Structure 1
């Protein structure tokens, strides 16, 4: 059974179970069009372009936002391709797998839509969400925005950065799942994505530098380590199973083990900005290499089934040295471990130690 068919069956079954007695708005998007095509035929929509990064802000009257994916639906039931992002496995927006969605809550006022798929993952929050807030700040009507629609705000790093970016708590609307979040606004403002999926831009880096580092220092006089190891031992997946063996060798070379989730965003920025060599298993903590100084060495240990160039792209922008080591797959009783846990065998440990 292919991925799209499984996804459709999952969405339909969950939707039926969850909303058997709920009021429905029968909805099936009539079509999906490009932003240029939509603007030609719908004079009520408008766009404000910015030269930097070819970004823009799109304004729609009576637009709707549905689900934790931040899916934007126009008043005439059309999806605009460029403003509705899907993850790599999905060929179509998840709304197309729904036969119906719950009636929208009508909100009077102006809403800025910043939610997107996986928007509360640290990497996507820092690389995708925060630069879009900066775009909103460039808009003439930022102060008149009544609501900001985000993915669920459940982590300290989200609350910390929203405060830094000046987003009032009383203006935040959260969309937490794919079924019972659906809103309609008098005016809907959509700040464009400032980069392709998993590909940061200079605008991204400049935004993070402007708001988080180096202006927001909190640890004057604190000791920082030149060589750091990013541990995922507290994470639910993508763990290095023989971490203690590897860590023992790294500590002998002057490495310090850190758990990034135990630090604030500003503290993480300072730690990475002062490091010269960074080693770890591929994960969102590597997002902080956006704060590293040029020539910092980044060693990204990846699972064979979880290779992604997102951090390689940041190293190109920052002038860092990127080294990828592909770990050995962990084979459980039922085959390949679904958590993408790995180990490093002797030859790969040797290669790692030659790099540090």
Structure 2
């Protein structure tokens, strides 16, 4: 185990300031494969390739068990359109970003912990690049502060791991979970040879619709929420498609080809200008939406409620739209289905700016703008993180932004 991690673990348990805690943690740190029963895995590998190199596989077996799909590459993005002279600092951080390599690895007797899909090798170590959390450091992973894991459930056969952090939600499901299926295909793995597919949840209509479209039968699906700690005869683990919130171009193409190709039914009354409402959600609502909707009437925007639509219907709607206005929310995942040059205005609370849809818009060549709602803006580089905050739109500012956009 890494010495820094040992020190951290001891500090965590010693803060209980009880002699028994010191004895217990020192005992646990010496147990082989201890995390099958207790917390505290033996440590971690920074990258899966390190485990492969340490596993003693011969060259032929190595090629069978580990295959790289995409190599790392640099993403360069254009600045967002806006009224402010300076862009919000969150956007500046994303002007350049390296997209990591992708791969598929097979792990005999591997384990998976939690809804986020933490991967544990047979030698009781976490694969850091397959077990990402929002924190940048694997040392901060909660698995290393966990006293006891859920009961281990053994599954005979091959399990493909698709679950990811927050993978039950629409954005992460579409951008983090489903592209892992494409990585399996790119590795020439016949999905029919997979006994089970592990996902975060299988409850929402979009979960069921998308997996059915991809040819995965519900009888093969297991949920992390019901199986929080499993060991399989063999895990097949595609890497995450990229850094969360930074969907790569190949994953955008995969979603478009899967859910848009062949979905070109001629519907003449689909609107070209749409406003995505969040009044049916519990957060990030537009406070003055009645006034906003009235303001939009001369501009011929149609108010849309995505909650009642299938994924196929949402894909078609966004593919026909030329102007899209929306508060920040998962519905903007469907920007992936837009045509190049579609104009997008995303509205944020000044207390929560998340630039994942700016990143997505750049990948599919959209004309992206944003508007901050009313309220005292935090100092630069201060992120209040109030993701549920409702938004008050200044209609004069929106009118000026419309002029800039050319609406």
TM over 0.5: yes
Aligned residue for 1:21?
Answer: none
Structure 1: 5+ residue stretches without partners: 10-23
Question: Which has the higher Rg, Structure 1 or Structure 2?
Answer: 2
CA offset at residue 78 of structure 1?
0.4
Q: How does 1:98-247 map to 2 (within 5 A)?
A: 98-142=146-190, 143-176=192-225, 181-217=228-264, 219-247=265-293
| 8 Å contact from structure 2 (residues 260, 315) kept in 1 | yes
Instruction: Output the CA distance in 1 between the equivalents of 2:251 and 2:166.
Output: 17
Alignment of 1:46-65 (within 5 A): 46-51=65-70, 54-65=101-112
Distance 1:299 1:277 in 2: 8
Match of 2:398 in 1: 349
**Aligned residue in 2 for 1:267:** 313
The one of 33, 37, 49 aligned to 2:45: 33
113, 116, 132: which one pairs with 1:69? Answer: 116
Deviations 1:263-318 (A, max 9, x none): 11111011111111000100111111111111110000011222122111122121
Partner Cα separation in structure 1 for residue 136 and residue 239 of structure 2: 22
Residue 365 of structure 2 is aligned to residue 319 of structure 1:
yes
With normalisation by structure 2, the TM-score equals 0.76
User: Is this contact kept in 1: 2:155–2:233, CA < 8 A?
Assistant: yes
Post-superposition offset of 1:352: 3.9
Q: CA deviation at 1:124?
A: 0.9
User: Quick one: structure 1 residues 242 and 51, their matched pair in 2 at CA, closer, same or farther if it must change by over 3 Å?
Assistant: closer
Instruction: Determine which of 348, 354, 368 is the counterpart of 1:302.
Output: 348
Identify which range, 270-279 or 300-309, moves more after superposition. Answer: 300-309
Q: In the alignment, is the contact (CA less than 8 A) between 1:194 and 1:201 conserved in 2?
A: yes
The alpha carbon displacement at 1:55 in A equals 2.0
Q: How far apart, CA to CA, are the structure 2 residues paired with 1:251 and 1:108?
A: 59
> Structure 1 residue aligned with 2:56, among 35, 43, 47?
43
Q: CA deviation at 1:214?
A: 2.6
Q: Distance in 2 between matches of 1:137 and 1:338?
A: 35
Deviation (angstroms), 1:223: 1.3
Give deviations 1:181-236, integer Å, cap 9, x for gaps: 2110010110111221101111111101221003234x433411110000001111
SS in 1 for 2:149: strand
The RMSD of aligned alpha carbons is 2.7
Q: 1:86: how far off?
A: 0.7
Shift of 1:324: 0.8
**Segments ≥4 residues shifted beyond 6 Å:** 335-338
Moved more, 131-140 or 231-240: 131-140
Decide whether aligned partners of structure 1 residues 210 and 346 sit closer, same or farther in structure 2, where only a CA change above 3 A counts: closer
Give the Cα separation in 1 of the matches to 2:213 and 2:354.
29
Aligned CA distance change for structure 1 residues 337 and 207 (closer, same or farther; 3 Å):
closer
Distance 1:338 1:288, change over 3 A: closer
Change (3 A) 1:88 1:251: farther
Give distance in 2, aligned partners of 1:150 and 1:290.
Answer: 22
Unaligned runs of 5+ in 2: 1-7, 14-35, 73-100, 378-383
1 CA distance for matches of 2:315 and 2:122? 42
Q: 1:18 maps to which residue?
A: none
For residues 170 and 336 of structure 1, the distance between their equivalents in structure 2, rounded to whole angstroms, comes to 39
